[in-house]
Amino acid sequence: MDTSLPNLKQSSLLQAILEGLIDGILVLSDQGEWIHANDCARRICRQLSKGIPQPDRVPQEIWNTCKRLIENLSLHPNQTVPIEDEINTESVSYRLRAQWLNLDATHPYVLVTLEDRLQSIQSLAIAEGHRYGLTPREIEVWIRHRANYTYRDIASELYISHNTVKKHMKNIHAKRHLALETH
């Protein structure tokens, strides 16, 4: 019996799951070699490399965190505590988590999860907007509010007045309160 077909299905299913995640997933050897990266991880690595083509090269900010994980294992071999860090660029903030991934006993890998904080906030705000029954414009305001923009910043970015932002926020809070009361 040929068992390669179920393995192929599992492999393509796993690949589809990794590509569908909102976070970047990067699997590295303990020497920094790329084993796997989903599209989101590749995009984030390109952004951190400032557009300079460096295929399959781990940006220094990420590798520094991985090195701390590797050093921690050599100091404390029985403790596999994940290392978390934050990378801030001019326009984006990333949450980084490095941990050990033991697929086989002979060779451990480093699993790096990269979360684009703004994208996560936007996704959450959009979901909340639909749950609260917000209009498309209210969702635009809510996204920026959830990203800690000031009312003045929201007004400037959306080309509306400060009073219009206040009006939208008043409506949002009323709809939010109503939705939370009914659930």
Q: What is the CATH number of the domain that holds 165?
A: 1.10.10
Same domain as 166, residue 80: no
In a domain, 154, yes or no: yes
pLDDT for position 121: 86
pLDDT for position 9: 63
DSSP annotation of 90? S
> What's the pLDDT tens digit per position in 67-76?
999 888 777 7
Q: Out of 59, 89, 116, pick the residue that ends a domain.
A: 116
In a domain, 107, yes or no: yes
Same domain as 74, residue 40: yes
* Residue 48 binned pLDDT confidence (cut-offs 50, 70, 90): confident
What is the average pLDDT score of the chain?
84
Q: Looking at the predicted structure, is the pLDDT value of residue 124 above 60? A: yes
Let me know if 125 is exposed, middle or buried by CB neighbors in 10 A (0-12, 13-18, 19+).
buried
* Strands of 109-116's sheet in order across: 34-37, 24-29, 109-116, 93-101, 83-88
Same domain as 137, residue 58: no
* Residue 176 binned pLDDT confidence (cut-offs 50, 70, 90): very high
Q: What is the mean pLDDT of residues 4-33?
A: 74
pLDDT for position 2: 47
> What's the pLDDT tens digit per position in 126-161?
999 999 999 999 999 999 898 889 999 999 999 999
- pTM for the whole thing? 0.68
Q: Out of 65, 82, 116, pick the residue that ends a domain.
A: 116
Range with the poorest average pLDDT among 11-25, 53-67, 105-119: 11-25
Q: What is the mean pLDDT of residues 18-36?
A: 84
Number of domains in the chain: 2
Q: Out of 70, 90, 116, pick the residue that ends a domain.
A: 116
Same domain as 147, residue 100: no
Same domain as 38, residue 63: yes
Quick one: what percent of the chain has pLDDT higher than 90? 39
Q: Looking at the predicted structure, is the pLDDT value of residue 5 above 70? A: no
Name residue 115's beta-bridge partners: 95
- The domain of 16 spans 4-116
